[in-house]
Amino acid sequence: MIEQIIRFGKVVSTQDKAKELIGEGRPVAVTALSQEKGRGRQGRNWYSPEGGLYVSLLLFPKARVTSIPLLASLTIIRTLEHYGLSNLSIHWPNDVLLKNHKICGVVCERYQDAVICGVGLNVNIEKFIPRLSGATSLRIETGQAFDIDEVLEVFLAKFNDLYEELQLKGLKVKEVLNYISGLGESVEVMTAKGVVQGTVCDIDDDWALLLRDESGIIKKYYYGDVRRLQW
Ligand code: BTN
């Protein structure tokens, strides 16, 4: 359960700030107004001007570490629904899309006995750099400005609910399936070991992606970047 939020102005990355706090041994949320070098997955940068929500959750999970990225994505979906948004989907396991445009990214890093789950949500950003033409924000979609602190409070309350359920009882994957894009589609998964192709058949009980390859063998992936081959 995260009960404390530690706030910064400009930082290099909230992921690093969360690492510095590991000695405290309890879960906290670290947030900043902007990041100089926000980190995305696979060595990418995360565009982090003022106007976004940048938060790193320092967690000491007892169970089901692999489901944390998806748990964070589901929390973002619930948060955006709280604000009346629909047409939301999860691009397994870490991206949340609004009308097929990326509004949020999640990156999880293991560090000693902790997991640092970083979430970047485009809240009040009005314009993206050309490289990010596929991105959107709450502001762009609704025409309104949002109170970022309030969005964070809503997010944390919903995260705590889901996280507690996950730790105590194991969480059912059913709700996530309503939002996963790409079920039944041909995809390419970029894993640490290389690129694999197949058809997405399901999300497993431990929230892994099940992929059927050309020879019909079903394999399980916990991490990776998924790219659709057909639209
Ligand atoms: C991705 O889509 O590649 C994941 C992006 C995650 C960005 C967040 S913003 C808060 C936290 N601090 C970082 O440096 N990265 C994560």
* Percent above pLDDT 90 for the chain: 65
In this structure, are 155 and 211 located in the same domain?
A: no
**Average confidence (pLDDT) over 77-106:** 93
Question: What is the model's pLDDT at position 231?
Answer: 39
> For the CA atoms of the chain, what is the radius of gyration?
17
Q: How far is the CA of 46 from the centre of ligand 1 (A)?
A: 6
In this structure, are 210 and 133 located in the same domain?
A: no
Residue 179: is its pLDDT beyond 90? no
In this structure, are 96 and 193 located in the same domain?
A: no
- Index of the ligand 1 atom closest to the CA of residue 104: 2
Helix (H, G, I), strand (E, B) or coil at 227: strand
In this structure, are 50 and 163 located in the same domain?
A: yes
In this structure, are 120 and 84 located in the same domain?
A: yes
In this structure, are 114 and 208 located in the same domain?
A: no
C-alpha dihedral sign at 193, 18, 60, 90 = negative
**Token digits for 182?**
């790409």
**Residue 213 to residues 93, 186, 189, 197, Cα–Cα distance (Å):** 19, 9, 11, 6
* Residue that terminates a domain, selected from 177, 201, 218: 177
d(Cα 11, Cα 225) in Å, to the nearest integer?
Answer: 27
Question: What is the model's pLDDT at position 99?
Answer: 94
Question: What is the model's pLDDT at position 171?
Answer: 65
> Can you give the CATH number for the domain in which 55 is found?
3.30.930.10
Enter the pTM of the model.
0.90
**Residue 97 to residues 16, 23, 100, 148, 189, Cα–Cα distance (Å):** 26, 35, 5, 19, 18
In this structure, are 115 and 143 located in the same domain?
A: yes
**Average confidence (pLDDT) over 150-178:** 86
Q: Could you tell which of 119, 137, 190 is best to mutate to test the pocket of ligand 1, judged by most ligand atoms within 8 Å of the CB?
A: 119
In this structure, are 22 and 117 located in the same domain?
A: yes
In this structure, are 220 and 118 located in the same domain?
A: no
Q: How far is the CA of 188 from the centre of ligand 1 (A)?
A: 22
**Residue 89 to residues 81, 180, 228, Cα–Cα distance (Å):** 11, 6, 14
Q: How many domains does the chain have?
A: 2
Q: Which residues line ligand 1 (CB under 6 A)?
A: 13-15, 35, 38-41, 44, 46, 54-56, 94-95, 105-107, 118-120
* Percent above pLDDT 70 for the chain: 97
Residue 219: is its pLDDT beyond 60? yes
Helix (H, G, I), strand (E, B) or coil at 197: strand
Q: Which residue, by CA, sits nearest to atom 10 of ligand 1?
A: 54
Q: How far is the CA of 93 from the centre of ligand 1 (A)?
A: 14
In this structure, are 135 and 210 located in the same domain?
A: no
Structural domain containing residue 59: 5-177
